[in-house]
């Protein structure tokens, strides 16, 4: 032999060093020989997969990742196989785990934590929109690319919407104990979206605190703490961050913002109803839930508001009609499309014609959130218009943002 190492190739990929190893798989660095692009090559031994009855889990992971194409989710490029191996070609992510970042550097500032939490929630919400529930969200499964952007990985325990039973729930207990939602532990069936979002709450706590909210060397004690949501926020967290975390890590189904979302979505799946307003996604429900002020945690313009929200228990069509009846006498032209409205003041103001957009979102079958947003014109004129409008909508408005603030 000439002493030269023979380069191994799988398909069009030149295979290099091992970068990770597990019970059933090995991950190697590889490079696309045609494009030069680096990839992660996950190699699974077929014999081991069958021996440990992992075939269904592997198939589910592949099926799941094929559905997901999002900038904050590790991308699956292709799957290949030989007589003895399964090869999964994945995006190569170089920045390590978010877990290591916390372990090495400690807790994050709220500004930095906000960035990662927003990326996480956006990706999770996208997965849910495709009928995919991760079910094992934790710091170790959140990777960072070379630009510091978050990437969700490891969909081995994920569930697809086809696995939901007739009761609208999932029933397999899985996940990492510290991150698992109470309803998963209770073994009575759970909503995959709500369970994932509980895990997101645990992750947010860990980012801002530097440690996990639920931890105990005794597993039974750990489960008791989780079931009762027994945790204490550290004193350095802002009021807004504490309020958000407490709202997410709420074990009471009657007050959980996620249960409202879940019940609404299940109802829509079960019943073919007439056209309804857009359902609010879970992230919006978090940020708009009663008594919750996110100004310190999320980037919201200070000063005059350009967007005002109120809630209503009236039917959506009634809200639309009431807004139209109130806006026309104030000199506004009204255009309606589905559950969105464009209101334009025919008389020019200080900064031209005031244009206002409204949209109705369905939070639950008999509960709506209405956004009133200034698109064009003077902000002070917009606020004056809204004050007049709200006077005409007294029998429609249930609570405004100001009402919510007053209840704190």
The span from the CA of 268 to the CA of 277, in Å, is 11
User: How far, in Å, CA of 63 to CA of 104, rounded?
Assistant: 35
- For residue 375, the tally of other CB atoms under 10 A from its CB is 13
Cβ pair 245, 348 in contact under 8 A: no
CB 21 within 8 Å of CB 97 = no
Q: Report whether 42 belongs to an annotated binding site.
A: yes
Whose CA is closest to 139, among 205, 195, 79? 205
∠ CA(42), CA(46), CA(48), 5° rounding?
Answer: 95
- Cα–Cα distance measured from residue 270 to residue 262, given in angstroms and rounded to the nearest whole number: 12
At CA 205, angle to CA 129 and CA 20, rounded to 5? 70
Phi-psi region of 319 (alpha: psi -120 to 50; beta: other; left: phi over 0): alpha
Count CA atoms within 13 Å of residue 58 on its CB side.
21
Residue 152 three-state SS:
strand
Closest CA to 251 of 289, 207, 211, 202: 202
Cα 297 from Cα 118, distance rounded (Å):
10
136 catalytic, yes or no? yes
CA distance 309 to 307: 7
Question: Which burial class, exposed, middle or buried, applies to 265 when counting CB atoms under 10 A from its CB (0-12, 13-18, 19+)?
Answer: middle
* Phi, psi dihedrals of residue 356, rounded to the nearest 5°: -125, 135
How many other C-beta atoms lie within 10 A of the C-beta of residue 289? 21
Provide the 3-class DSSP secondary structure of residue 240: helix
Q: Which of 125, 136, 154, 250 is catalytic?
A: 136
C-alpha R_g of the chain: 25
Return binding residues: 42
Return binding residues for ATP: 42
Task: Show which residues are catalytic.
Answer: 136
């Amino acid at each position: 032999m000439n002493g030269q190492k023979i380069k191994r190739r799988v398909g069009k990929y030149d295979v290099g060093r091992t970068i990770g190893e597990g019970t059933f798989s090995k991950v190697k660095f590889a490079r696309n020989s045609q494009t030069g692009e680096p990839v992660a090559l996950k190699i699974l031994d077929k014999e081991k997969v069958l021996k440990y009855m992992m075939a269904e889990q592997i198939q589910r992971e592949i099926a799941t990742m094929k559905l997901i194409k999002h900038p904050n989710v590790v991308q699956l490029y292709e799957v290949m196989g030989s007589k003895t191996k399964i090869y999964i070609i994945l995006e190569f992510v170089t920045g390590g785990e978010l877990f290591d970042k916390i372990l090495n550097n400690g807790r994050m500032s709220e500004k930095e934590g906000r960035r990662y939490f927003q990326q996480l929630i956006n990706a999770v919400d996208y997965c849910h929109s495709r009928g995919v529930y991760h079910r094992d969200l934790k710091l170790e499964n959140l990777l960072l690319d070379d630009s510091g952007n978050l990437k969700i990985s490891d969909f081995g325990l994920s569930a697809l919407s086809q696995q939901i039973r007739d009761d609208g729930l999932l029933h397999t207990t899985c996940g990492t104990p510290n991150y698992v939602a109470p309803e998963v532990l209770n073994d009575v069936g759970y909503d995959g979206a709500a369970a994932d979002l509980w895990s997101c709450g645990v992750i947010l706590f860990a980012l801002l605190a530097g440690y996990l909210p639920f931890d105990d060397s005794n597993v039974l004690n750990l489960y008791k703490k989780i079931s009762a949501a027994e945790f204490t926020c550290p004193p350095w967290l802002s009021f807004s961050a504490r309020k958000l975390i407490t709202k997410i890590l709420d074990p009471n189904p009657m007050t959980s913002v996620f249960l409202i979302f879940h019940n609404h979505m299940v109802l829509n799946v079960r019943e073919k109803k007439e056209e309804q307003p857009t359902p609010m996604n879970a992230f919006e429900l978090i940020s708009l839930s009663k008594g919750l002020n996110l100004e310190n945690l999320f980037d919201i313009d200070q000063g005059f508001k350009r967007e005002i929200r109120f809630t209503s228990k009236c039917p959506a069509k009634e809200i639309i009609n009431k807004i139209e009846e109130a806006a026309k006498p104030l000199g506004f032209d009204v255009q309606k499309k589905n559950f969105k409205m464009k209101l334009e003041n025919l008389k020019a103001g200080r900064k031209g014609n005031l244009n206002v957009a409204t949209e109705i979102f369905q939070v639950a079958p008999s509960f709506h959130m209405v956004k009133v947003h200034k698109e064009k014109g003077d902000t002070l004129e917009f606020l004056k218009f809204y004050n007049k409008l709200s006077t005409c909508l007294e029998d429609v408005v249930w609570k405004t943002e100001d009402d919510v603030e007053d209840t704190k």
